[in-house]
Structures are given as C-alpha cells and as structure tokens.
Amino acid sequence: MKLAPESCGEAPGRGRLKGRRILVVGGGQDTRGLDDPPIGNGRAMSILFSREGAMVAVADRIRESAEATVRAAARDGVFAMTANVANPDEVLTMVSSAHERLLGIDGLVYNVGIGVGDPWLAGATADSWDKVFAVNLRGAMLTLKAALPVMEEGSSIVLISSIASMKPGSRLPAYDASKAALGGLMRHAGIEGERRGIRVNIVAPGLMDTSIGRAATQGRPGRAKTAVPLGRQGTGWETAYATLFLLSDEAAYITGQILAVDGGMTALR
C-alpha cells in the first residue's frame, strides 16, 4: 500500500504553526538499539512543528536523543533540553527555561509514557505501578501545573495517550490505567484553561510502526497479526499530523476531546 506524503514525512510545510512557540516533552527517541529505526512520535512531532513554522523546545530525559532530534529538524529555532519528568524540580526548570528561551509558550505536547513490569495483574508490583504512574500521569500533572499559568491566551495542549486507554490489549495494567487516567487530567486542565481559551486534548495512537512498537512486537509476536481495519500499522508522522491539527488554529473550537489515530481499531473492531 502506497502511503501519502504526510504519512512518510515527505509533505512540505504549509505554515500551519507560523510564529508558534511549542514545548515538546519527550521529543527525543528511544531507538531500542535498532540500526535504522522508524521515526518515533516525539521526533516526528518536533520536526513537523518546526517545518510548519514553529519554534520548538525539544525536551527529553536523554540529552543526546533530544540533540539528535534538533539535528534532524535542521532548522533555526529548535533547541534541546534535558528533563526527567519523574523529578518535580526538573519539570519546573524545563518549563521555566522553555518559556524564557521561546519568549513564551503557546503550544505544549506531553509525549512521555513507559510500560514496565511483567504482564497481567499477577505480574504487577507496587514498585512498578508507582514507577509507571510517576512518569505517565504524575509527570503530566506536574508539567500542566507548571505550564498552564504561563501559557498565552488561546494556547493549545495535547497529551499523547494510547488506545490502551480505551480498550484492553497491552496486558500491562499500570500502563493501561495510567493512560486512561490522562483523560481525567485532560478534562480538568481543560476546565482550568477555558477562561483564557486554552484548549486541552488527547491524541491516542494505536499500533504504530516505531522502534518502541517493534520492541513490543518482539515481546508479543501476535501484535504484528492484529487485524487493523486500514490494513497496516501507523507511522510516527501520522501521530504528528493529528497532533499538529489539534495545536493549530484549525482546531480552534475543539477541546476536551480524544482523537484516536489507530486505523479504525477502536471504532470498528
């Protein structure tokens, strides 16, 4: 099946985010040791937002990964930052530094998520549960708490969740529960932001052909045989374009919503 230029990251920029100042939390990429990994969601988003005219702060736990994204973007106004979202002090520093260097923030993406521990409830432990929630949910809360007061009127926030928040499948209860809980956080942040026109939405990717996705398939080979209505796994670029839409003024009347980017899995299967 031939993919559209947008699905491959080959479409030209159209100025859809011209003049915007966006912080991408989780803008690096975990290559999982692959020699030629497909692009991940965070890296694709950072590159695409820059291509569409935005200044972009690329934050990641691993500095080298964020810097690789900056090199791949190859544009002015894109810079790397280091932050571990499990550390509250580092979250505060990340937001304040991005705000200072960008001269304001009017776009924020939280693209961080981990799944650790053995599968099923039998494999869950208190420590692994707390570790997942500290990154997937508490880190998102801390980021929103720091960012909302300093964001401009009419800003947009997008949290990257997963269709694991909507239907079972990952077999990791802490991952599923933490991603589902992002919906409640998103709605609350939407209420807090509404008086200043700050929109808050979620993008929920399905089975994506990323390095993390390929690692998941190695651990659970049946994942590759999942019947996706559109007949294939998605790309990081397709997550990026959905997020771009919600950040842009094209989505100016959309808030409090979950957009599944899943080839029809949640609606048709």
User: Which residues are tagged catalytic?
Assistant: 175
CA–CA separation, 265 and 269 (whole Å): 5
Secondary structure element (H or E) that encloses residue 67, with its range: helix 63-73
The CA dihedral of 31, 34, 38, 43, to the nearest 10 degrees, is 20
Task: Please say whether the dihedral angle defined by the alpha carbons of residues 12, 16, 21 and 26, taken in this order, is positive or negative.
Answer: negative
CA–CA separation, 202 and 8 (whole Å): 22
Confirm if 248 and 49 have CB atoms less than 8 A apart. no
> Other CB atoms closer than 10 Å to residue 33's CB: what's the count?
8
Alpha helices in 194-264 (DSSP H): 211-219, 236-247
- HEC sequence for 11-36: CCCCCCCCCCEEEEECCCCCCCCCCC
